[in-house]
Structure 1
Amino acid sequence: MQFKHGRIDSIDAMRVLAMLAVIQIHTPWYSKVNVTSLDVATIADQLARFAVPFFFVISGYLWASRSFAAADYWPRSVAVSKRVLIIFSFWSFIYAIGPSLYVIRQEGLDSLLANMLSVVYPFDSIRFLSAVLQGTKNHLWFLPALAIAALISGALLSKGRELTLFVLAILLFAVGLAGSAYSDTPYGFTSNFNFRNGPFFSLIMFSSGYAIHRYGQRLPLLPIGIGLATGGFALQLFETTWIHRQWGTPLLHDYIVGTYFFGLGMSMIALSNTRYLRVKALSSIGPLILGAYASHYYFVEHVRWLQQIVENPYLIGPAYLAVVFLLALGTSYMLAQWRGTRQFVT
Structure 2
Amino acid sequence: MADRVRSLDAMRIVAVVFVVLIHTDPLQGVGAAGNAVNFGIKTTARFAVPFFFVTSGYFFAVKTTDRDPRAYLTRRAVTIGSLYAFGLALAAPAFLGGRVASDAADGRSLGSAVAARAAEFLDPVELLYYGTSVSEVLWFLPALLVALALVAGFAAVGAPRAALPAAVPFHVVGLLGTSYAPLVGVPFEVRDGLFFGFFYVSLGYAIARRGWRPAPERSGTLLALVGGFAALQFAEFALLGYLLRGAAFGSYVFAPSYGVATAGLTLSVFLFLLSRPSLGADTPLPSWGAYAVGIYVTHPVVLAAVRGVRDALAASGHETGAAVFWHLGATPSVLLGALGLYLLAHRLRIVEIGGTHFPGAPLLRSR
TM-score range with shorter-chain normalisation?
0.7 to 0.9
Aligned partner (choices 210, 214, 227) of residue 209 of structure 2: 214
Q: 1:213 to 1:233 in 2, by over 3 A?
A: same
Counterpart check, 1:117 vs 2:119:
yes
Q: Deviations over 1:157-206 (max 9, x none)?
A: 12121243112210111110122222232xx3342x33222321111111
Aligned 8 A contact 1:25 1:31 in 2: no
Aligned partner (choices 26, 48, 52) of residue 51 of structure 1: 48
CA distance in 1, matches of 2:261, 2:325: 31
State the partner residue of 1:166.
164
Question: Within 5 Å, which residues of 2 pair with 1:1-346?
Answer: 2-4=1-3, 7-31=4-28, 39-69=36-66, 71-101=67-97, 106=104, 107-117=109-119, 129-132=125-128, 133-135=130-132, 136-185=134-183, 188-191=184-187, 193-220=188-215, 222-223=219-220, 225-244=222-241, 245-246=243-244, 251-304=254-307, 305=309, 311=321, 316-342=326-352, 343-344=356-357
**Unpaired runs of at least 5, structure 1:** 121-126
CA distance in 2, matches of 1:72, 1:31: 48
Aligned 8 A contact 2:9 2:285 in 1: yes
Deviation at 1:335, TM superposition (A): 2.3
CA distance in 2, matches of 1:119, 1:143: 16
For the residue of structure 2 that corresponds to 1:39, the secondary structure is helix
Deviation at 1:23, TM superposition (A): 0.6
Q: 1:157 to 1:243 in 2, by over 3 A?
A: same
Q: Deviations over 1:249-304 (max 9, x none)?
A: 99432201111111222222333345542243222221111111100111111124
One-letter amino acid of the counterpart of residue 209, structure 2? R
TM-score (norm 2): 0.79
TM-score (norm 1): 0.83
**Unpaired runs of at least 5, structure 2:** 248-252, 363-367
One-letter amino acid of the counterpart of residue 164, structure 1? A
Deviation at 1:233, TM superposition (A): 1.4
Q: Please, which moves more after superposition, 101-110 or 17-26?
A: 101-110
Deviation at 1:152, TM superposition (A): 0.4
Q: Please, which moves more after superposition, 173-182 or 301-310?
A: 301-310
One-letter amino acid of the counterpart of residue 108, structure 1? L
One-letter amino acid of the counterpart of residue 336, structure 1? H
CA distance in 1, matches of 2:324, 2:97: 36
For the residue of structure 2 that corresponds to 1:100, the secondary structure is helix
Q: 1:247 to 1:131 in 2, by over 3 A?
A: farther
Deviation at 1:146, TM superposition (A): 0.5
CA distance in 1, matches of 2:116, 2:35: 43
CA distance in 2, matches of 1:166, 1:142: 19
CA distance in 1, matches of 2:99, 2:176: 37
Deviation at 1:317, TM superposition (A): 3.0
One-letter amino acid of the counterpart of residue 320, structure 1? A
CA distance in 2, matches of 1:341, 1:50: 28
Alpha-carbon RMSD across the aligned residues, in angstroms, is 3.3
Number of aligned residues: 333
